[in-house]
Amino acid sequence: MSYTIQHIAKLIQATAVIKQEVNIEYLIIDSRKITFPSTSLFFALHTHSRNGHTFIAEVYERGLRNFVIDENIDTTAFPDANFLKVANSLIALQNIAIAHRKQFETLQVIGITGSNGKTIVKEWLNLLLQNDYNIVRSPRSYNSQIGVPLSIWQINSTHNLGIFEAGISTYNEMDKLEKIIQPTIGILTNIGNTHDEGFENKEHKFLEKIQLFKNCSVLIARENDCKIHNPVVPSEKFKPTVLTWGFSNNNEFVIQYINKQKDNATISFLYKNKEQQYIIPFTDEASIENAITCICVMLVLKFESQNIATKIALLQPVEMRMQLKKAINNCYVINDSYSNDIASLNIALDYLKQQSGNQTTTVILSDILQTGIPQNDLYKRVSAIINQKKAHKFIGIGEQLNKHKHLFENSIQQTAFYNSVEDFLLHTNTHHFKDEFILLKGARLFAFERINDWLAFKVHQTVLEINLSAMVHNLKTFQNHLQPGTKLMAMVKAFSYGSGSVEIARLLQFYKVDYLAVAYTDEGIELRKAGISLPIMIMNTDEAAFHAVVEYNLEPEIYSFNIYHTFHQYLLQQGITNFPIHLKLNTGMNRLGFDEQDIHTIATLLQQNNTMVVQSAFSHLTSSEEAADDDFTLHQSQVFLQYCNTLENKLGYKFIKHIANSAAALRKPFLQMDMIRLGIGLYGINNSKMQSVFIQPVATLKTTIAQIREVKKEDTVGYNRKGKLQRDSKIATIRIGYADGFKRSLSNGVGAVYVKGKFAKVVGSICMDMAMIDVTDIDEIQEEDEVEIFGTHISIEQVAQACNTISYEIMTSVSQRVKRVYMEE
List residues with catalytic annotation: 493, 719
DSSP structure string for 750-782: T-EEEETTEEEEEES---SS-EEEE-TT-TT--
Q: Name the residue among 788, 795, 789 with its Cα closest to residue 684.
A: 795
Q: Name the residue among 257, 295, 289, 248 with its Cα closest to residue 115.
A: 289
Q: Name the residue among 627, 323, 659 with its Cα closest to residue 486.
A: 659
- Strand 161-165 relative to strand 185-188, pairing: unpaired
- Strand 265-271 relative to strand 274-280, pairing: antiparallel
Q: Name the residue among 324, 349, 315 with its Cα closest to residue 123.
A: 315
Q: Say how far apart CA 39 and CA 20 lie, in whole Å.
A: 12
- Strand 82-85 relative to strand 15-17, pairing: antiparallel
Is the separation of the CB atoms in 725 and 712 below 8 Å? yes
Task: Give all strands (DSSP E) within 252-392, no chain letters.
Answer: 253-260, 265-271, 274-280, 322-327, 331-336, 360-366
Contacts of 590 (CB under 8 A, 6+ apart): none
Strand partners, 222: 245
Q: Characterise 512 by phi-psi region: left (phi > 0), alpha (psi -120 to 50), beta (else).
A: left
Contacts of 169 (CB under 8 A, 6+ apart): 195, 198
Q: Say how far apart CA 526 and CA 493 lie, in whole Å.
A: 12
Question: CB-based burial of residue 358 (10 Å sphere; 0-12 exposed, 13-18 middle, 19+ buried)?
Answer: exposed
Count of helices and strands (H, E) across the chain? 26, 40
Secondary structure (3-state) at 94:
helix
Q: Say how far apart CA 455 and CA 332 lie, in whole Å.
A: 9
- What type of residue sits at position 199? F
Q: Say how far apart CA 663 and CA 666 lie, in whole Å.
A: 5
Secondary structure (3-state) at 176:
helix
Q: How far is CA 388 from the centre of its chain?
A: 24
Q: Say how far apart CA 15 and CA 275 lie, in whole Å.
A: 61
